[in-house]
């Protein structure tokens, strides 16, 4: 029997690194739902880590790992090659705490490349075409939607970012991330899995 949480075992079985040593050595894992219609917060992001007593903690937060309809339908002035959809996989050491759009603390893609699908047909369905994958610095951040209240529809809040819809939960997420940075440095890996 494994001595790590099921989600970490799933990530490990997929060939990804998992972080098991020390307190607040964070595993940040997104889970994209099977629903391929954009616009709702129907995904999850988990923080899986050991606390100061060596006990495993797994906290899940509601989010979207997909762009909102505003961008998917081509209403925004996004990338001419199409809307970004983060490709499932692990992005080692790519994220750091920084200001999202210069406004508030978030996990920002500053330290390495990520891979995205470019969906260029401007409908509501996410097309994950391997022939349309790009890798680079695209500002695919992990941030929140509204600062004031829980958000129901993604709309403009994500042009490919991983976005949480509840500001109170986001505050908890960031407080734990900051504890991780204090102990392990301001660099984080993000793993995106698909259901």
pLDDT for the residue numbered 2: 58
Which position has the higher pLDDT, 55 or 1?
55
CA distance 98 to 30: 20
In the chain, where are the structural domains located?
6-194
pLDDT for the residue numbered 1: 38
Mean pLDDT for 110-124 is: 93
Q: How far is CA 103 from CA 45, 100, 151, in A?
A: 22, 6, 18
pTM summary value: 0.95
């Amino acid at each position: 029997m494994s001595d790590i949480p099921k989600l970490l075992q799933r990530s490990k079985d997929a060939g990804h690194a998992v972080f098991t040593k020390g307190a607040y050595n964070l595993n940040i894992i997104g889970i994209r739902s099977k629903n391929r219609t954009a616009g709702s917060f129907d995904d999850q992001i988990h923080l899986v880590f050991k606390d100061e007593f060596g006990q495993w903690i797994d906290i899940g937060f509601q989010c979207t790992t997909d762009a909102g309809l505003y961008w998917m339908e081509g209403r925004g002035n996004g990338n001419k090659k199409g809307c970004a959809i983060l490709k499932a996989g692990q992005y080692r050491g790519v994220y750091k705490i920084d200001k999202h759009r210069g406004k508030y603390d978030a996990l920002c893609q500053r330290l390495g490349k990520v891979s995205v699908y470019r969906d260029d047909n401007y409908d509501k369905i996410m097309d994950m075409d391997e022939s349309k994958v790009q890798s680079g610095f695209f500002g695919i951040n992990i941030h929140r939607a509204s600062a004031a209240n829980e958000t129901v529809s993604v709309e403009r809040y994500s042009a490919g970012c991983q976005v949480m819809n509840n500001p109170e939960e986001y505050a908890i997420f960031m407080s734990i991330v900051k504890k991780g940075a204090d102990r392990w440095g301001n660099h984080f890996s993000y793993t995106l899995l698909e259901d």
